Structure 1
Amino acid sequence: MSSFDKESELIYKCMIQMTNYTGEKAYVAVSLINPQGNYEKTMYIQGDDKEWFPDLKNWWGFTSRNDENLDAISGATIGNGERNIISLSFKPSQIDTGYKVRFESAVENQEYYLVDAEVDLNTATLRNKVEGKGYIRYIRMVPNR
């Protein structure tokens, strides 16, 4: 799953609340973005049918050049008004240093959102509710204690 030292990881529960929209269920790529604004790693994929992964255009461009085991971090799609709770883990050095978690989304035959939502990894705002811009209504993260 991760090359991090398990004892030094910070684990957060993350709720993804979807908007009420019509159409198929959404594919969402959850990625760690480094301080330079580049993809560092895939944290989770909401959607397990690899046929639709290329619809997440920017994420797909990143992941198709890397050797990530996506089967280990993928789950079922959710749609219209549904919610999903996932676990995300971070190194302490990624908090308060400019890292972000990006939520990229797409729905078959509908719009694609490069940044549907983005959460800054800083202690002052990490627990704040972050509004989505597309299929995601909001994101909320809390420490897993």
Structure 2
Amino acid sequence: MKKIRIIIPILVVVLSFMSFKSLTESSKYKCMIQMTNYTGEGAYIVISLINPEGNYEKTLYVKGDDDEWYNTVESWWDFYGKRRTDLDAITGATISGGERAINVIEIDNDKLDKGYKLRFETAVEDQDYYTSDVEFDLTSQNVKSKIEGKGFIRYIRMMPQ
């Protein structure tokens, strides 16, 4: 009987502690990137979560698996390169002019409709670099839409998975 009297208060404390721990739920989105018909090497593309203050918060995806060229994505490299931590995104092969790629990115639900943005940066060897090839407010509506690019990306299309 004494064991039960001891275990029950401990169990209540543990369960109470666990109820205060917030678990952030996230959702997965298919993200199709359609490139313009440019000529040249494949584009390095970085998809980043930008906080309401306009600063990088997290790298969601990187297209381009040779880290020797990451510094060509200049603005992102200023953020990522200085931290020198493990890359917090999946990497995949570059995509070239006229091609398209579909990837799945995961976004915390508490970032939607809170002033966050998604930024798609692109860089192509011996060509231009676009800090905000595509950049849009992270809203419930925009994660279900098509958004035009300004550089190497013709458009991106987001779709909840």
**How high is the TM-score relative to the length of structure 1?**
0.90
2:152 corresponding residue in structure 1: 135
2:57 is matched with: 40
- Choose which of 87, 100, 109 in structure 1 pairs with 2:104: 87
Answering whether residue 84 of structure 2 is matched by residue 70 of structure 1, we say: no
Deviations 1:31-67 (A, max 9, x none): 0000111000111111001111110000001001224
- Per-residue displacement from partner, 1:84-136 (whole Å, max 9, x unpaired)? 11111111110000111100000000011000001321113321210000000
The within-5 A match list for 1:1-145 is 8-70=25-87, 73-144=90-161
RMSD of aligned alpha carbons: 1.7
Of 20-29 and 121-130, more deviation after overlay is shown by 121-130
Q: Which amino acid aligns with 1:78?
A: I
The residue identity in structure 2 corresponding to 1:73 is I
Larger Cα Rg: Structure 1 or Structure 2? 2
CA contact (8 A) 2:49 2:116 kept: yes
Partners of 2:55 and 2:89 in 1: CA distance = 22
SS in 1 for 2:78: helix
TM-fit CA distance, 1:27: 0.4
Q: Which moved more, 1:123-132 or 1:95-104?
A: 123-132
Percent identity, please.
Answer: 55
Q: Secondary structure at the match of 2:29?
A: strand
Q: Partners in 1 of 2:89 and 2:145 — Cα distance?
A: 28
Q: Which runs of 5+ in 2 are unaligned?
A: 1-22
Q: Quick one: distance in 2 between partners of 1:42 and 1:72? A: 6
Structure with the largest fraction of helix: 2
**Alpha-carbon offset, residue 72 of structure 1:** 5.4
